[in-house]
């Protein structure tokens, strides 16, 4: 597929997606989100890809949704358009997804990062959900994911009063994994993703599923899910290989089976 709003490439066992609307500060429109969804679907189906990195470049991650696409839209048009539903493509990716955030990650851009599994940020990163300043609220998971991560009171200030977090603040409140110099961000993100891609693929997918269950559900539901996933992995070739390799003091050879 030829893309017009993103750049897609492979780096080893890592799929790299770069948002590519520099003239619009990578504002998210339907075309970009549809292309991102397709790229993620392709990487999910490709067994030679073990992890994905999403970035926007050094200047900006994504400055929000493209307001021109929705300024005059009615409720019915927005529902029919399914704009925010395109974010759900990230929920269907079983492989680890790393967000490499430099510069502004605002509105939909912040929500896109929040939908990823791991967030690495450069020192210039800024996170915010300014939707109330244009008469709406975050609609692609921002109110839910941010509140789970940083707590009710900071989420209220960010969403109700447009408070932005610097990269250092984001790390302090658990919104990002770590902060890096701008020039090292992409390389470090790719190295992390490559490391994830070298793990036992079925175990990594099961672990991601279990952690997401802990994030989204109750403790009792999470314990049940974790236990079931744990037992199911004993029916895989990778479990046998991994434990045999450990006992034989060698590196395992994963098959994803």
Catalytic machinery residues: 65, 108, 111, 131
Residue 17 tokens read as 């997606």
Number of separate helices (H) and strands (E) present in the chain: 10, 10
Polymer length of the chain: 257
Residue 40 tokens read as 């993620």
Q: Of all helices (H) and strands (E), which one includes residue 8?
A: strand 6-11
Find tokens 């790229």 and name the residue: 39
Q: Of all helices (H) and strands (E), which one includes residue 19?
A: strand 14-19
**Other CB atoms within 10 A of residue 161 CB:** 10
Distance CA 118, CA 96 (A): 8
SS3 189: helix
């Amino acid at each position: 597929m030829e893309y017009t709003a993103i750049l897609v490439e492979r780096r080893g066992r890592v799929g790299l997606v770069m948002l590519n609307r520099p003239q619009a500060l990578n504002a998210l429109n339907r075309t970009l989100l549809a292309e991102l969804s397709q790229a993620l679907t392709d990487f999910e189906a490709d067994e030679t890809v073990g992890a994905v990195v999403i970035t926007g470049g050094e200047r900006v991650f994504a400055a929000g949704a493209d307001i021109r696409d929705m300024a005059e839209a009615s409720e019915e048009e927005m529902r029919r358009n399914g704009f925010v539903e395109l974010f759900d493509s990230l929920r269907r990716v079983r492989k680890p997804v790393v967000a490499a955030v430099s510069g502004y990650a605002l509105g939909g851009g912040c929500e896109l990062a929040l939908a990823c599994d791991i967030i690495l940020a450069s020192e210039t990163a800024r996170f915010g959900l300014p939707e109330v300043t244009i008469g709406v609220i975050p609609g692609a998971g921002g109110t839910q994911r941010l509140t789970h991560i940083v707590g009710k009171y900071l989420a209220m200030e960010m969403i109700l009063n447009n408070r932005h977090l610097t990269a250092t603040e984001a790390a302090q409140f658990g919104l990002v994994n770590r902060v890096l110099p701008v020039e090292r961000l992409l390389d470090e993100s790719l190295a992390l993703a490559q490391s994830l891609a070298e793990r036992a693929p079925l175990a990594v997918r099961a672990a991601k599923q279990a952690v997401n269950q802990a994030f989204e559900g109750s403790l009792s539901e999470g314990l049940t899910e974790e236990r079931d996933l744990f037992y199911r992995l004993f029916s895989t070739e990778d479990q046998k290989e991994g434990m045999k390799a450990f006992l034989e003091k060698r590196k395992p050879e994963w098959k994803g089976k």
